[in-house]
Chain A
Amino acid sequence: MLNLDINGRRVTVRKGTALLAAIREAGFEVPTLCHHEALEPYGACRLCVVEVREEGRDKTRVVTACNYPAKAGLQVETESEAVVETRREVLDLLLARCPGSPVIRELASSMGLHRSSYPPDQNRDNCILCGLCVRVCEKLGFTAITMAGRGAEREVAAPLKEPPPDCVGCGSCARVCPTGNIPLVDRDAMRRIWDRDFEMVRCTSCGRAYITREYLESRVEASGLPASHFELCDECSRSRTAQTMYRHMVLDDKEASHE
């Protein structure tokens, strides 16, 4: 365990805790865009900056809380002048990149920023290159999409910019994207994502198309269970559970009392 001061408040956290977690535990808020608890810290959006003074040092420095380890004796300011200026500048830059993104607009205006200091980009989507989609895909074991290009050319892309062969259409990337930038369309038992069409498997009971064939296959493989194990959607699984339960508990009772 180690002690540190956050905005003057003494907090105790376990060794190895990220500063961001310590700050949140202490009840303060720090905005983030590229952070997800399930993924390794990435440090790309720079929104989570805070100002720290390390023990025994005179100078403070601005660091990103998501990947900075909490240290004993650390003094942390989450809203200092330098922090606010840096955070505002990041949002100013993002606002110019994605002027149409409600998420970015909201974050910016929460810092009193209603218009960017820079000319807004035209014809650009709302990707802020936080990398969450790429990282979640990698975490799930598919690595169907990657970051491609450098500098201003950087983008999220499938290999060779073709529909990604390793994609199973699970849709996690679309759900985790903070700006909702990844189009996912389910229609007529087909799912379209990353310019690829996936056939969806129907629940053998209700007929609802509830999962893509590729995702189902990956589940069959990962679990070692037969495909029949997954033939019902969750709603129908529940109904089946209800029936089983009823059979066991009510009918068994009745049978017992008949005897």
Chain B
Amino acid sequence: MQAIGNFDELKKYREGLVSARDPKRKVVAVCTGTGCKAYKCDDLASALEAEVVKQGLSDKVEIVPTGCHGFCERGSLLVIYPDDIFYQKVSVDQAAEVVSKTLANGEILEELLYEDPVTGKKIVKESDIPFYKHQQQLLFGPGRRIRPTEIDDYLALGGYEGLAKVLSEMKPDEVVELILKSGLRGRGGGGFPTGVKWRTCRDAPGDTRYVICNADEGDPGAYMDRSLLEGNPHSVIEGMIIGAFAIGSDQGYIYVRNEYPLAVSNVHVALDQAREAGLLGENILGTGFSFDMRVSRGGGAFVCGESTALMASLEGFVGEPRAKYVHTVEHGLYDKPTNLNNVETWANVPLIVNKGVDWYTSIGTGDVSKNPWGGSKGTKIFSLVGKVKNTGLVEVPMGISLRKIIYDIGGGVPDDRAFKAVQTGGPSGGCLPESFLDQPVDFDELSRAGSMMGSGGMIVMDDRTCMVDVARYFVKFLLDESCGKCVPCREGNRRMLEILTRICSGQGVLSDLDLLERLSRSMMRGSLCALGQTAPNPVLSTLRHFRHEYEAHIVDHRCPAAVCRPLITYTINDECNGCTLCKRVCPQKAISGEKKKFHVIDQDKCDQCGVCIQSCKFDAIDVA
């Protein structure tokens, strides 16, 4: 492609792309995101393509392998536009049928339709599926219709229009002002107002400034940044170029987690295309503004996502945090003013430029017209996992209730179990009980409740979850991921884990709870970086909302959820008909009983592995 030399040429080029596309032509968007790769979605896309050619439909149908659609548990999945037909769990050998029946004849394949687990009804249109219906996919939407590695697809959808607008009509200060007024807050965890950060960086003394995209995404189970970069890298790149213009930077970096090879390669392709198109590099769109960026592979540790550790890692040092008393917006990468934003934050930028502040601030909570901290605007992508019927990535407007996410989009807790808690904010987030389900989800409300937005992890837990055990799991994660540099985090997490382990094994004492609280306070106050400062959250939030569970472990030597092995007993009840199955499977040989006679468990031998309860077909084994 030839470099686009000015705004007019960009407009013409786009018009050319749009008019070359036949609006009546069917588009099959096949999800080829990482989540679906396991279901051989790439083979499905090729098979569909081959079938289309074979059945002579090439000029009527286009197969578009796209980024992640979010509903990963239903892969492989595809959507047929403009009819909006949604097929899920499509296997490679069903490709021929999809083409011959649906694409050629408009016939719906019942077996590929989604069945609503709540109503049991089959649903044809994607927009009618509850998982999608309640979402607002502003960031994800475009990525679901385009080939991530084709800049033309992005341009045809209006891509780089925001950049053109900024470069042709606005001064850098006006762009900063726009982002400030939009109320956009950082999606990487802290929720810091992006406009304030940009302004401070722009105002910092010095000639060289850097902008960085944080794509280190280390939270277990979170993959929204990955999906954005894989599925629509140009939206992030465009956001960064706009940011660079506003801040006055000519060099940027995308710091991508090492385990994201597809994201890395898609970003590389996108950068090359943008450069070739004259949208990146020297003299962008003939305006004299120059900016280029590089991709850097992450240091492979969770803590490398922390801003100062990330910058140390970019400079080639060990990814360890340093004190932030001198802010990175003033002294960051190579000691120069540096603006770091998360992938999702950057992806919001073109959207705000294109659609304006009024539109953007109409989505979300609070009033940001006077104070950028006054609310939470726009959408947020969550990674909804755990004990919910529909899992995946969901993008929802700020202010939506937890209940809506978990029940309307997620379909509620499976197997008729009771909801117990939702953990938000990643490993250093908190657990909220049922009474918080109607809480609006935004930065400030979640913090007030003792949790946080974090980067958007959301784990639903049912009544079989032990909250002490959950706290222990997260503390273990944080201990392993702590860089170990400072005493409160390294030693504090270690002791916290020790105390929680003690409680889970029935050896806790009530004063342990005070000790946990005291230790938490000192870790929050005394740790060097935010990892240690927020590490007590899982403990404090469970102590606050589920203290009775801690007490049950300590005082009654009982794990109410029957999870902590040293505290549970398995017993056989009257339903036992003497089938002998449990006796045969018990690895400890702790079960005795004659055929067709009542069986008993020898508590001294039982090591609470739970194999018996899984094997019993008559619900004759109780656990408490």
Given A86-B526, A90-B487, A154-B490, 4 more contacts at CB 8 Å? A62-B525, A89-B526, A149-B484, A151-B480
CB pair B525–A64 under 8 Å, yes or no, is no
CB pair B487–A128 under 8 Å, yes or no, is yes
Interface extent on B, as a size class?
20 to 34
What is the chain B residue whose CB lies nearest that of A19? B325
CB pair A154–B491 under 8 Å, yes or no, is no
Please tell me if B1 contacts chain A, counting CB pairs below 8 Å.
no
CB pair B325–A46 under 8 Å, yes or no, is no
Given contacts A85-B521, A118-B498, contact A129 B484 (CB under 8 A): yes
Q: How distant is B322 from chain A, measured CB to nearest CB, in Å?
A: 7
Q: How distant is B105 from chain A, measured CB to nearest CB, in Å?
A: 59
Q: Which of B375-430 contact A (CB under 8 A)?
A: none
Please tell me if A21 contacts chain B, counting CB pairs below 8 Å.
no
Q: How far is it, in angstroms, between the C-alpha of A150 and the C-alpha of B485 when the chains are bound? A: 8
What is the chain B residue whose CB lies nearest that of A89? B522
Please tell me if B579 contacts chain A, counting CB pairs below 8 Å.
no
CB pair A90–B480 under 8 Å, yes or no, is no
Q: Which of A69-87 contact B (CB under 8 A)?
A: 69, 82, 85-86
Task: Spell out A's residues near B (CB within 8 Å).
Answer: 41-47, 49, 62-64, 67-69, 82, 85-86, 89-90, 93-94, 96-97, 117-119, 128-129, 131, 147, 149-154
Q: How far is it, in angstroms, between the C-alpha of A41 and the C-alpha of B326 when the chains are bound? A: 13
Q: List 9 interface pairs A-B (beta carbons < 8 Å), by A numbering.
A: A43-B485, A44-B485, A46-B527, A62-B526, A68-B325, A86-B525, A93-B495, A97-B491, A151-B481
- Interfacial chain A residues near B528, Cβ < 8 Å: 43-44, 46, 64
CB pair B484–A69 under 8 Å, yes or no, is no
- Interfacial chain A residues near B465, Cβ < 8 Å: none
Q: Which of B492-537 contact A (CB under 8 A)?
A: 492-495, 498, 515, 518-519, 521-522, 525-528
Indicate the member of B483, B490, B493, B527 with the most A CB atoms within 10 Å.
B490
Please tell me if B482 contacts chain A, counting CB pairs below 8 Å.
yes
Please tell me if B554 contacts chain A, counting CB pairs below 8 Å.
no
CB pair A151–B484 under 8 Å, yes or no, is yes
Q: How far is it, in angstroms, between the C-alpha of A68 and the C-alpha of B325 when the chains are bound? A: 6
CB pair A152–B494 under 8 Å, yes or no, is yes
Q: How far is it, in angstroms, between the C-alpha of A93 and the C-alpha of B518 when the chains are bound? A: 12
CB-based A-B contact count at 8 angstroms: 105
Q: How far is it, in angstroms, between the C-alpha of A130 and the C-alpha of B315 when the chains are bound? A: 23
CB pair A85–B498 under 8 Å, yes or no, is no
- Interfacial chain A residues near B492, Cβ < 8 Å: 89, 93
CB pair B491–A119 under 8 Å, yes or no, is no
- Interfacial chain A residues near B493, Cβ < 8 Å: 151-152
CB pair B498–A119 under 8 Å, yes or no, is yes
What is the chain A residue whose CB lies nearest that of B527? A46
Given contacts A89-B519, A90-B526, contact A151 B326 (CB under 8 A): no
- Interfacial chain B residues near A62, Cβ < 8 Å: 525-526
Q: How far is it, in angstroms, between the C-alpha of A93 and the C-alpha of B495 when the chains are bound? A: 8
- Interfacial chain B residues near A119, Cβ < 8 Å: 498
- Interfacial chain B residues near A64, Cβ < 8 Å: 323, 528
CB pair B484–A49 under 8 Å, yes or no, is no
> Which of B325, B479, B521, B522 is A63 in contact with, Cβ under 8 Å?
B325
CB pair A89–B527 under 8 Å, yes or no, is no
> Which of A44, A63, A96, A118 is B486 in contact with, Cβ under 8 Å?
A44
What is the chain B residue whose CB lies nearest that of A66? B323
Please tell me if B488 contacts chain A, counting CB pairs below 8 Å.
yes
Please tell me if B301 contacts chain A, counting CB pairs below 8 Å.
yes
Q: How distant is A22 from chain B, measured CB to nearest CB, in Å?
A: 14
Q: How far is it, in angstroms, between the C-alpha of A154 and the C-alpha of B486 when the chains are bound? A: 11
CB pair A46–B323 under 8 Å, yes or no, is no
- Interfacial chain B residues near A69, Cβ < 8 Å: 325-326
Q: How far is it, in angstroms, between the C-alpha of A97 and the C-alpha of B498 when the chains are bound? A: 13
